[in-house]
Structure 1
Amino acid sequence: MLLGKKVLRITAAVAVAAAAAHTAERLKAPAVEQSVLVSAARLATSDASPDPSTESAVPQSASLSSPVEKRVGDLTGITPVAATTPPAGGDRCRPELQLSTQPGAMIRLSLAAPCNRGERFIVRHAGLAFSARTQADGFATVTLPALRADALVAVYLQDSRLVLGKIAVPDVSAYSRFAIVWELPADLDLRVTDGTKVLVGSGTSASDGDQGVIALGSTEVQSPVLARVYSVRSQTLGDADITGELRITPASCGRTLRVDTVYSSGGIATTADQAISVPLCGTAGDILVLKNLAPAPKLAAPK
C-alpha cells in the first residue's frame, strides 16, 4: 500500500511539472503570435483595427472592393481634366459680339476679337452659314438676313472659341426667304426668275429692299463657306422660279457634293441637305442647273 501511495504522489508531481512547463512555454511564445491572438479577439469584441504588422501589403484605401471608413462614394469613372491657369488681369483675348437690327429684317453683326487679327471665322444662324475675315485689328462687321424671329447667331473663331448672341427680329415674319449654303469645290450661284425679273446674288442686301438675292461669304479665306439667300417681302415665295447653277470644274467633276438649304417663312426656319452628283470629267466649263431646290433638286442636262 505504501508503494501505491508513492506511485500516486510521483504521478501527481509529474502532472504538475508538465502543466507548469506547458505554462512556461506558453508565456515564452513569440510576440507575433501573441499579437495575432490579441488582434483576433479585439476584432471580435470591439472596433479596434488590427496591428499594422499583420495587415496586407496593399492598404484598404487602395482597394475599391474593401469598405473604407468615411467613403465619399464608389468610383464610377475617371474624367481627365486639363489644368488651366487664368491669365493675370483677365482674358485679354476674349471676343465680344454685338447684334443690332437693320431695316428689311436684317441683322448687323459687330465682332471684336483682339487676338484673332486677320483670321477666318464662320457665322451661323438657323442653318445659314458663311465665312468671313477679321480686319488687321481683330474687328469685323457683317450683315445677314434674319431667318427666325428669335435670332440666335454663333461665331466660330479659329482657336475653337465660340461666341453667341441673340436678338429679336419681329419684322422677319413679313418675309419669306430661301438660302443655299455650300463649300468648295462646289461653285454655285442662285438664280431667281419672277415674271420679267431675273435676280442673282449681289451685295449683302436685297436689291430693292423687298426682293432680291443676297450673297454671303468671303472667298479670300481658307476653306470658304458661301451662301445665297433669296428674300421677298411676302408670306410665301410666290411663283418665283428658284434654280441653282453649278459650274462644273476639274475639282468638282465626277464627285458628289453636298449643299444645305434653309426655308424661312413667318419667322420659322426649316433646314435640309441635298446631295448633288456632278457629271464625270470632260465637261468642265458647263453649268449644271439644279431645279426644284425645295424640297429636292432635279438635275438638268449641262448647257
Structure 2
Amino acid sequence: MEFFASLGRRRVVTAVVALLVAFGAGILMQHILVDGTPMATVDELPDAAPSLRSAGQSPGLPTPPAATLVPMLPPPPVLPDRVDNPGPVLPEVWDDASMSPFGFNCDPELSLTLGKAAMIEARLFAPCDQGQRVTFRHGALEIDMVTDPFGRAATMMPALDISAGVAAILARETVSSQVRVSDARAFSRVV
C-alpha cells in the first residue's frame, strides 16, 4: 500500500482509467461489434492438386547435340631463350638535397590569408620537413604544430596589429611573411 501512496492519488486514478479504457475497447471490438458477417480468408491449400504423369507419359530420351565445328588455331610462336631488349630506360636517381622525395623544391613557403574578424590563416608548405615541429609566431602569440606527411601545416591566429607579421620556425630554418589587416584595431586582443 505504501507504494500506491507514494505515487499519489491522481496518478493511480489516471492509470486505472487508462487500463479500463483499453479493456473496454478490446471487449467492444471482440464481442459487441461482431455481427456474424463472414470475413475474407485465404485458403492455405490450393483448390486443385498438381497433376502427375502416368508411367506411359514419360518424355523421350534427349538427343545428343550435333558435332560442333571448332576452328583450328595456328600454333603459338616460339620465343627465344634470351631477350635482347632490356625494357624501358628508367630515369637516373639523383641525390639532390634541394628537392623533396615528391619532386618539390625544399624551400619552405609561408602564405597568409585574411579571414573574418581580423583573423589570419597561416599556411606552411615545407615538403622536406614532413612530421617536423613548426612554431607559428605572431607578436607574443606562439602556436606549435607538427607538419603532415606532405610537409603542410595550417592554423588560424588573431591579428594583433595592423601590420601583422607571422614567422614559421622550423628546425633547420625560419620563414616569415607579412600582411596588412585594416580592421585589426576594431578588435581587442589579449595575449
Q: TM-score, normalised by structure 1?
A: 0.29
Larger Rg: 2
Question: Which structure has more strand as a fraction of its residues?
Answer: 1
Q: TM-score, normalised by structure 2?
A: 0.45
